[in-house]
Amino acid sequence: LPRRQRGLPEKRNIRDVRKVIAVSSAKGGVGKSTIAVNLALAFARHGHRSGLLDTDIFGPSIPTLLNLSGEPRLSANNQLIPLSNYGVKSMSMGYLISESAPVVWRGLMVMKALQQLLHEVDWGGLDILVLDLPPGTGDTQLTITQQIKLDGAVIVSTPQDIALKDAVKGISMFQKVGVPILGMVQNMSVFICPGCGKSTHIFGAEGVMRTCNSHGIALLGDIPLDAKICDDADRGKPTVVVEPESGRGKAFLAIAERI
């Protein structure tokens, strides 16, 4: 049956955007935003008009990662104008609320803010928009996956069993709402000691690959646990911008090529 007859809302496109992909994770702190920002930058480096939408209303991190702040201007027809850095346009709840203001929004207000981020941004023509989803499979994720025509989802996980168990819940959420899974990215699997260069698989080496194999989805890449990635990110200088030719930078660029 068509979605309308099943009582489901019609999915909408994000205006002026050709392709929309969501970056998702089961848990916070696994590197989802780091990967989302580096992917958006990698698409730009590959010559695409790229954008990044931070839909994490309670913990927006894109402003820090892209080294951007300030309030977006409004266009003539009251649309939010994205802020840009490093060749990527971005919009985030972090630009709309001051850092010191407590985010005590509930229910309708959160949903209203989300609607504005999804439908009232003047992207001005993009080839690809990366959506940084909040962690987990809660209301915001469901609203987005049910309302927006997503071309696919990328799932980020660390290799521990407990993270993977939850990642599988994310996989089934996307499958239920008919969003293709583009693949998984394994983050923080191997630690390369900056002193001696020895590599250690702290959480096991193959967890994400096993999950990919058992669910018939692609493994898009593997990003090492690397202090440089963390330092650069926290300074608002993402890896793909500061060292695209390094092993780290190339790993992100290769993932973008597989999408």
Rounded to whole angstroms, the Cα distance separating 259 from 153 reads 10
Among 121, 144, 229, 253, binds ligand ADP (CB under 6 A): 229
234 counts as binding ligand ADP under rule CB under 6 A: yes
233 counts as binding ligand ADP under rule CB under 6 A: yes
DSSP string, the chain: --TTTTTPPPPBPPTTEEEEEEEEESSTTSSHHHHHHHHHHHHHHTT--EEEEE--SSS--HHHHTT--SPPPB-TTSPBPPEEETTEEEEEHHHHS-TTS-----HHHHHHHHHHHHHSB---SEEEEEEEPPSSSSHHHHHHHHHB--SEEEEEE-SSHHHHHHHHHHHHHHHHTTPPEEEEEEEEEEEE-TTT--EE-TT-SSHHHHHHHHHT--EEEEEEE-HHHHHHHHTT--HHHH-TTSHHHHHHHHHHHH-
122 counts as binding ligand ADP under rule CB under 6 A: no
Stretch that binds ligand ADP, among 121-129, 172-180, 210-218, 230-238 (CB under 6 A): 230-238
259 counts as binding ligand ADP under rule CB under 6 A: no
Stretch that binds ligand ADP, among 70-78, 91-99, 107-115, 220-228 (CB under 6 A): 220-228
Least distance CB 109 / ligand ADP (angstroms): 23
Among 50, 61, 90, 147, binds ligand ADP (CB under 6 A): 61
Phi-psi region of 71 (alpha: psi -120 to 50; beta: other; left: phi over 0): beta
Q: Which is nearer to ligand ADP, 145 or 187 (CB)?
A: 187
Q: Check: CB of residue 51 under 8 Å from CB of residue 69.
A: no
Among 31, 51, 94, 249, binds ligand ADP (CB under 6 A): 31
222 counts as binding ligand ADP under rule CB under 6 A: no
Q: Which is nearer to ligand ADP, 81 or 230 (CB)?
A: 230
Least distance CB 34 / ligand ADP (angstroms): 3
Give how many residues touch ligand ADP by CB under 6 A. Answer: 19
Stretch that binds ligand ADP, among 26-34, 39-47, 104-112, 168-176 (CB under 6 A): 26-34
Rounded to whole angstroms, the Cα distance separating 202 from 71 reads 41
Among 24, 25, 90, 140, binds ligand ADP (CB under 6 A): 25
55 counts as binding ligand ADP under rule CB under 6 A: no
66 counts as binding ligand ADP under rule CB under 6 A: no
32 counts as binding ligand ADP under rule CB under 6 A: yes
- Write the CB contacts of 104 (distance below 8 Å, at least 6 apart in sequence): none
Considering only residues 137 through 196, tell me which ones interact with ligand ADP, judged by CB under 6 A. Answer: 187-188
Residues at the site binding ligand ADP, with contacts judged by CB under 6 A? 25, 28-34, 61, 135, 187-188, 223, 225-226, 229-230, 233-234
